[in-house]
Amino acid sequence: MARLLQRWLPRRWRSPLPLPAALWRETLQQHPFLAELTTTEQTRLQQLCGHFLLEKEFHGAHGLVVTDAMALSIAAQACLPLLHIASPTARSSRDPMDALDWYDDFVGIVVQPGAAVAMRESIDAAGVVHRYREVLAGEAMDRGPVMLSWEDVAQAGQVAGSGSNVVIHEFVHKMDMRGMQAGDTPDGAPAMTQGLWGAAHSAQARQHWRRTMTEAYTQFREALNVAERFGGERPWLESYAAKDPAEFFAVTCEAYFVNRERFALECPTLLPLYDGFFRAHPP
């Protein structure tokens, strides 16, 4: 009951869930991209996690029991993109906890033991309906829950070198979806504000974002096409990034947060773009 009452209070009046010190240390140690954060950043991340765990509900699927360690692992990775970002609803606020507003359109997080299989349907240019199965390590639903495969989440520390992270991927999708109208689809361009990259207004910031992202996306697709058709060197990023701009945004964000050094080499034009967006409020 006390936790339910806390959830209804404005965030600034709440007491975030206390995180056991030993469990927090273990979470940092298991994820090198978290362990390398500064002490100030780790403290802020811990505070974000306390509020995140208070606001969200975890549900294990197919008999999976979500332990405190599992929930904290997911929370820490989900909150990493919020560490220095401005709130989408309180842009003048300097309270770093307001960054959690990016995730305020849902409560549930469903954790599967392994990958899920979803039935998909598409219509080609000739009007023919195609039905197929898609194996998912995660899925973010507009105004709905986030689904994650624990098998993939648990490998976050081991796959960080390849720039992969399923939690960040799905939660960045939620950021992209925030504020969408019913029936819209994410397009890889989350809410923009004035002041980003020196923009005088939000429309100018959005134009800069779209121009930079479109150029990087086109270059990636061309490099992937050359590699597949002529046997050239494949891009470092996962080829799934070529699917559409929304997936390109999510895949590149994975790499940005878990392997910044390699990301800077592979995506030099995106580094200042993402720094300007995700690091609007450095400590």
- 86-95, 191-200, 225-234, range with greatest mean pLDDT: 225-234
- In a 13 Å sphere around the CA of 17, the CA atoms on its Cβ side amount to 21
Instruction: Indicate if the pLDDT at residue 122 is higher than 70.
Output: no
- Residues 44 and 35: their CA atoms lie apart, in Å, by 13
| Predicted pLDDT at 119 | 57
Confirm if 59 and 109 have CB atoms less than 8 A apart: yes
Q: Which superfamily does 2-278 belong to?
A: Glucose-regulated metallo-peptidase M90, N-terminal domain (1.10.472.150)
Q: How confident is the model at residue 2 (pLDDT cuts 50, 70, 90)?
A: very low
For residue 196, give both structure tokens: 């980003």
- Give the chain's mean pLDDT: 89
φ/ψ of 242, rounded to 5, equals -80, -5
Give the model's pLDDT for residue 136: 77
pLDDT at 26 over 90: yes
Q: What is the pLDDT of residues 171-191, one digit of tens each?
A: 999 999 998 888 889 999 998
Query: Can you give the pLDDT at residue 1?
Result: 45
Residue 124 has pLDDT above 60, yes or no: no
**Residue 13 pLDDT grade (very low, low, confident, very high; cuts 50, 70, 90):** low
Contact 45, 80 (CB under 8 A): yes
Report how far Cα 152 is from the mean position of its chain's Cα atoms: 15
Q: Where are the domains of the chain?
A: 2-278
- pTM of the shown model: 0.91
Count of positions (residues) in the chain: 283
